[in-house]
């Protein structure tokens, strides 16, 4: 096998880029939005209050950051019958590692933060900011390969948040009803499903890994169904990210009494 030569003078000036357009806008916006989300989510996870709207206002709404609420410190009504007693800090910190890991290892978010935070590269045909580069071949970035396991956990959370949205139709003291909070939880669950089902790992696991589609017709159908969603993965990633924060904010504002959750009951 012929080896590859290194070196040889390259053409063009020795400058980071010749681009004259505003290529820096996209990474800048990404940094702004992701930083804002991380700051808000961290505050919301640590604050450990106002994450559940209960029977006192005839509602059953829980923030997605705190669901499932599994510890003994969870406010009454927000947790299942069996709880973890040894966890004494915010219950959100017990569960958020899973959705956080799902998004951190997501193929789309990897592109977003490699470009915007790590500047490798900040934009196409713009020199990256590092002297050496080994990509995802070494620890810790080698761990990006566990994405599919976070996808599995993400599905479990989607089921739980869907149940939360269905339970939100329950209005203690009134029976069944529908409120803005119910709609917010429903939209949140829907966007999270769309984000999960458009995931590249999902596309591979449901059918993309098959060698012969003709011998795996069900996997082929699944692959055909999920591939168009996969094309909109970036859109669903941003929509679900912003809406999950909005959902927490809405529940928080209702729980703290800042706003009223308008609705009706049957």
Partner 1 sequence: MAEEIVRGTQSGEVTLRIWRGDQDGGAFEEYVMPAQEGEVVLDVIHRVQATSAPDLACRWNCKAGKCGSCSAEINGRPSLMCMTRMDTLPPGETVTVAPMRSFPIIRDLVTDVSFNYEMAKRIPPLLPRSRTEDEEAAGGYRMAQMDVDRSQEFRKCIECYLCQNVCHVTRDHEENKTAYAGPRYFIRSAELEMHPLDTNDRRQLLQEEQGLGKCNITKCCTEVCPEHIKITDNAIIPLKERVVDAKYDPVAWLGRKILNRTKRTAAEAAVSAPAQGPAAVRPSEEVRGVPLPHPHDTGGAVAAAVAAPPATFPGDDAPPDA
Residues at the site binding partner 1, with contacts judged by CB under 8 A: 1-13, 17-21, 107, 110-111, 114-115, 120-121, 124-125, 127-128, 130, 132-138, 141-142, 145-148, 200-201, 204-205, 208-209, 211-214, 220, 230-231
Nearer to partner 1, 40 or 98 (CB): 98
In angstroms, how far is the first alpha carbon of the chain from the final one? 76
Q: Are 150 and 156 in contact (CB under 8 A)?
A: no
Residues 120 and 129 sit within 8 Å (Cβ to Cβ): yes
Check if the beta carbon of residue 191 is closer than 8 Å to that of residue 197.
no
Least CB distance from residue 41 to partner 1, whole Å?
24
Q: Strand, helix or coil at 202?
A: helix
Closer CB to partner 1, 1 or 176, in the complex: 1
Residue 49: how many CB atoms within 10 A of its CB? 10
64 vs 207 by CB, closer to partner 1 = 207
In degrees, rounded to 5, the angle at the alpha carbon of residue 161 between the alpha carbons of residues 237 and 31 is 25
Q: How far is the CB of 12 from partner 1 (least distance, A)?
A: 4
CB of 96 to partner 1, least distance (A): 24
Q: Phi and psi (nearest 5°) for 171?
A: -120, 95
Residue among 8 and 76 whose Cβ is closer to partner 1: 8
User: What is the C-alpha to C-alpha distance for residues 100 and 6, in angstroms, rounded to an integer?
Assistant: 40
Contact 51, 39 (CB under 8 A): no
In the complex, least distance from residue 1 CB atom to partner 1, rounded to whole angstroms: 6
CB of 240 to partner 1, least distance (A): 19
Minimum separation from the CB atom of position 67 to partner 1 (A): 27
Cα separations in angstroms, 55 against 28, 82, 175, 181, 243: 43, 20, 11, 14, 25
Residue closer to partner 1 (CB basis): 107 or 246: 107
Q: For partner 1, which is the closer residue by CB, 128 or 242?
A: 128
């Amino acid at each position: 096998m012929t080896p590859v030569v290194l070196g040889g003078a390259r053409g063009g000036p020795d400058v980071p880029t010749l681009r004259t357009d505003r290529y820096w806008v996209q990474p800048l916006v990404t940094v702004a939005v992701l930083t804002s989300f991380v700051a808000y989510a961290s505050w919301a996870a640590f604050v450990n209050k106002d994450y559940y709207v209960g029977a006192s206002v005839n509602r059953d709404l829980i923030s997605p950051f705190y669901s499932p609420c599994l510890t003994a410190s969870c406010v009454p009504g927000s947790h299942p019958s069996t709880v973890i007693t040894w966890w004494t800090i915010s219950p959100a910190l017990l569960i958020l590692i899973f959705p956080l890991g799902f998004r951190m290892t997501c193929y789309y978010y990897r592109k977003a933060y490699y470009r915007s935070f790590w500047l490798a590269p900040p934009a196409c045909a713009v020199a990256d900011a590092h002297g050496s580069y080994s990509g995802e071949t070494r620890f810790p970035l080698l761990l990006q390969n566990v994405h599919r396991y976070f996808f599995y956990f993400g599905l479990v959370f989607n089921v739980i948040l869907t149940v939360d949205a269905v339970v939100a139709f329950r209005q203690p003291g009134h029976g069944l009803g529908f409120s803005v909070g119910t709609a917010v939880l429903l939209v949140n669950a829907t966007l999270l499903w769309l984000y999960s089902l458009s995931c590249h790992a999902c596309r591979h696991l449901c059918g993309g890994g098959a060698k012969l589609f003709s011998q795996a017709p069900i996997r082929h159908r699944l692959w055909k169904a999920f591939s168009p969603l996969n094309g909109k993965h970036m859109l669903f990633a941003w929509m679900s990210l912003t809406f999950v924060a909005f959902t927490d904010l809405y529940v928080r504002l209702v729980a703290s009494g800042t706003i009223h959750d308008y609705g009706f009951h049957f």
